[in-house]
Chains A and B, each alone.
Chain A
Amino acid sequence: MRATLRSIVQRLAALFRRRRLEDDLDDELRSHLEMSIELNLRKCLSPADARREALKSFGGVEQTKEIYRDQRGLPMIETTLQDLRFGLRMLRRSPGFSALAILCLTLGIGANAAVFSWIEGILFRPYPAVTHQERLLALGGTARGEARGTPISWPDFLDLQRSCTLFDAFFVTKIMGTTLSIGDRAEVTTGSIVSANYFDAIGVNPILGRGFEPGEDTGRNAHPVTVISYQLWKGRFKGDPQIIGKTQRLSGTLHTIVGVMPEGFYGTFVGWAMQFWVPASMEETFEAGGYKLEDRGARWIEAYVRLKPGVNLRQAQEEISAVAARLESAYPDTNRGRGIRLWPLWQTPFNNAGTLLPTLEIMLVVVVFVLLIACANVGNLLLVRSFARRHEMTVRMAIGAGRGRLVKQLVTEGLVLSAFGAVGGLLVAHWCRHALVLLFPARGGVTMHLPGEIDGRVVALSAGVCLLATLVVGVIPAIQMRKLDLAGALKADSAGVVGGAGRAWVRSGLVLVQVSLSFVLLVGAGLLLQSLQQIRTSSPGFSTHEVLETFVPLVSAGYDAPRAQSFQDELLERVKALPGVESAAFGRMTPLSYGSFSSTPIAVDGYQPPPEEQPIVQYNEVGPDYFATMGIPLVSGREFTRADDEKAALVAVVNETMAAQYWRSRSPIGERVQVKGRWMQVVGVAKDSKYESVRETPKVFFYVPLRQNFSRGADLFIRTPLNAETMATALAREVHTLDPGLALYEVITLQEQVDRSTSPQMVAVTLVGVLGGLALLLATIGLYGVMSYAVSQSTRELGLRMALGANASNLLRLVISRGLALTAGGVLLGGVVALALTRLLGNLLYKVSPYDPLAFVSAFVVMTGASLAACFMPAWRAIRTDPARALRE
Chain B
Amino acid sequence: MAAPKSEVLQGTLDLLVLKTLDSMGPMHGFGIALRIQQVSEDLLQLNQGTLYPALLRLEQRGWIVSKWGTSENNRKAKFYSLTRAGRKQLEQEAESWERMSAMINRVLRTT
**Chain A 40-60, CB within 8 Å of chain B: the 1/0 string?**
000000000000000001111
Contacting residue for A6 out of B52, B53, B60, B71, CB 8 A: B60
Does B30 contact A32, Cβ atoms closer than 8 Å?
yes
Does B50 contact A64, Cβ atoms closer than 8 Å?
yes
B residues in contact with A31, CB < 8 Å = 28, 30, 71, 75-78
Complex Cα–Cα for A67 and B48 (A): 13
Instruction: Point out which of B33, B48, B62, B75 has the most chain A C-beta atoms below 10 A from its C-beta.
Output: B48
Complex Cα–Cα for A28 and B29 (A): 8
Q: State the main secondary structure of chain B at its contact with A.
A: helix
User: A29 — nearest CB in chain B belongs to which residue?
Assistant: B52
User: B31 — nearest CB in chain A belongs to which residue?
Assistant: A35
A residues in contact with B71, CB < 8 Å = 31, 35
Complex Cα–Cα for A61 and B51 (A): 12
Given A28-B52, A64-B53, A34 contacting B75 (CB threshold 8 A): yes
Does A6 contact B61, Cβ atoms closer than 8 Å?
yes
B residues in contact with A403, CB < 8 Å = none
A residues in contact with B85, CB < 8 Å = 3
Q: State the main secondary structure of chain A at its contact with B.
A: helix
User: A54 — nearest CB in chain B belongs to which residue?
Assistant: B48
B residues in contact with A4, CB < 8 Å = 61
The minimal Cβ–Cβ distance linking B37 to chain A, given in whole angstroms, is: 9
User: A38 — nearest CB in chain B belongs to which residue?
Assistant: B73
Does A71 contact B61, Cβ atoms closer than 8 Å?
no
Contacting residue for A64 out of B28, B49, B61, CB 8 A: B49
Complex Cα–Cα for A17 and B77 (A): 20
A residues in contact with B28, CB < 8 Å = 31-32, 35
Complex Cα–Cα for A58 and B30 (A): 10
User: B60 — nearest CB in chain A belongs to which residue?
Assistant: A7
Give the residues from 48 to 88 in chain A that come closer than 8 angstroms, CB to CB, to chain B.
57-61, 63-64, 67-68, 70-72
Give the residues from 40 to 98 in chain B that come closer than 8 angstroms, CB to CB, to chain A.
47-50, 52-53, 56-57, 59-63, 71, 73, 75-78, 85
Tell me, yes or no, whether A11 is within 8 Å of chain B by CB: yes
B residues in contact with A11, CB < 8 Å = 60
Interface residues of A toward B: which range? 20 to 34
Tell me, yes or no, whether A723 is within 8 Å of chain B by CB: no
Complex Cα–Cα for A330 and B107 (A): 92
Interface residues of B toward A: which range? 20 to 34
Given A7-B60, A61-B49, A63-B49, A32 contacting B29 (CB threshold 8 A): yes
Given A3-B63, A10-B60, A32-B30, A64 contacting B52 (CB threshold 8 A): yes
The minimal Cβ–Cβ distance linking A552 to chain B, given in whole angstroms, is: 85
Give the residues from 2 to 25 in chain B that come closer than 8 angstroms, CB to CB, to chain A.
none
A residues in contact with B77, CB < 8 Å = 28, 31-32, 35
Give the residues from 414 to 462 in chain A that come closer than 8 angstroms, CB to CB, to chain B.
none
Does B47 contact A57, Cβ atoms closer than 8 Å?
yes
Complex Cα–Cα for A10 and B62 (A): 10
Tell me, yes or no, whether A612 is within 8 Å of chain B by CB: no
Complex Cα–Cα for A31 and B53 (A): 16
Contacting residue for A58 out of B34, B47, B73, CB 8 A: B47
Tell me, yes or no, whether A36 is within 8 Å of chain B by CB: yes
The minimal Cβ–Cβ distance linking A197 to chain B, given in whole angstroms, is: 63
User: B34 — nearest CB in chain A belongs to which residue?
Assistant: A39
Complex Cα–Cα for A473 and B33 (A): 51
Complex Cα–Cα for A7 and B59 (A): 8
Given A3-B62, A6-B62, A36 contacting B48 (CB threshold 8 A): yes
The minimal Cβ–Cβ distance linking A30 to chain B, given in whole angstroms, is: 9
Given A31-B76, A32-B29, A35-B30, A68 contacting B56 (CB threshold 8 A): yes
Complex Cα–Cα for A27 and B52 (A): 12
Complex Cα–Cα for A25 and B52 (A): 9
Complex Cα–Cα for A11 and B49 (A): 20
Complex Cα–Cα for A7 and B78 (A): 20
B residues in contact with A36, CB < 8 Å = 30, 48
Known: A6-B61, A68-B56. 14 other contacts (CB 8 A): A2-B62, A3-B61, A7-B60, A27-B78, A31-B30, A31-B71, A36-B48, A39-B34, A57-B48, A59-B47, A59-B48, A67-B53, A70-B53, A71-B56
Please report B residues at the A interface, Cβ cutoff 8 Å: 28-30, 33-34, 47-50, 52-53, 56-57, 59-63, 71, 73, 75-78, 85
The 4 residue pairs across chains A and B that have the minimum distance between CB atoms: A59-B47, A64-B49, A7-B60, A59-B49
13 A-B residue pairs with Cβ-Cβ distance under 8 Å, sorted by A, are: A3-B62, A3-B85, A6-B62, A7-B60, A10-B60, A27-B76, A32-B30, A34-B75, A67-B53, A68-B52, A70-B53, A71-B56, A71-B57
